[in-house]
Amino acid sequence: MKNPSVDKKKIVICISGMTGCGKSTVAKRLAAKYGLDYFSGGDALKLLAKEEGYRSDVTGWWETTEGLKFLTQRMGDPAFDRRIDEKLLELAKQGNVVLDSWTMPWLLKDGFKIWLEASPNVRAKRVVTRDSISQKEALDALTKKDEQTRQIYKNLYGFDLGYDLSPFNLVLATDELEPEEVYHAICLVTDRLVFGEA
């Protein structure tokens, strides 16, 4: 449903958090609720991976051996990430968008920025459910992915993903919350701080 406030100003909402925290689900729901476009940096990277010959169109691809191999490739060639970030910055400039991204909270000056915090064990459980792999496999893959992703962005932009939370307007710990509760909590704050609704 289109929110009348959207037409008055260019809304940019950034959702961030480590893999398995639920950011994509929340970001899509917020986009639908407020009548905003949705764009995922991770989905865009998967398309680039496909162009490179990877079979990236499967659920949970990032946690597979192939997905982790692409992560290593990205570490050696920052062009992949720069291309995606340029596109995201362009979309932010146009406004009225929800960006599901690891980089935009640091690269964008404006926008409402949300970080979803979840512990490695909780994130691994969610990945197990999503990708049908064991808890140990999920935890190992997430640990490796977290380290490499953090290194990519530290090298590229100098920020410490998952540790430096200074850009965020809202940091929400999600371990004890159901997905519906996370969504409603974010809506409550977004309604008030972004759209000025009581």
What is the reported pLDDT for 63? 82
Q: Which of 86-90, 135-139, 194-198 has the highest mean pLDDT?
A: 86-90
58 or 182, higher pLDDT: 182
Indicate whether 172 pLDDT > 90. Answer: yes
- The dihedrals phi and psi of 137, each to the nearest 5 degrees, come to -60, -45
In tens, the pLDDT along 102-112 reads 999 999 999 99
Q: Do the beta carbons of residue 52 and residue 70 sit within 8 Å?
A: yes
What is the reported pLDDT for 1? 47
CB atoms within 10 A of CB 174: 22
Edge-to-edge strand order for the sheet containing 37-40?
37-40, 97-100, 12-16, 112-117, 170-173
Q: Which CATH superfamily is domain 4-193 in?
A: P-loop containing nucleotide triphosphate hydrolases (3.40.50.300)
What is the reported pLDDT for 29? 97
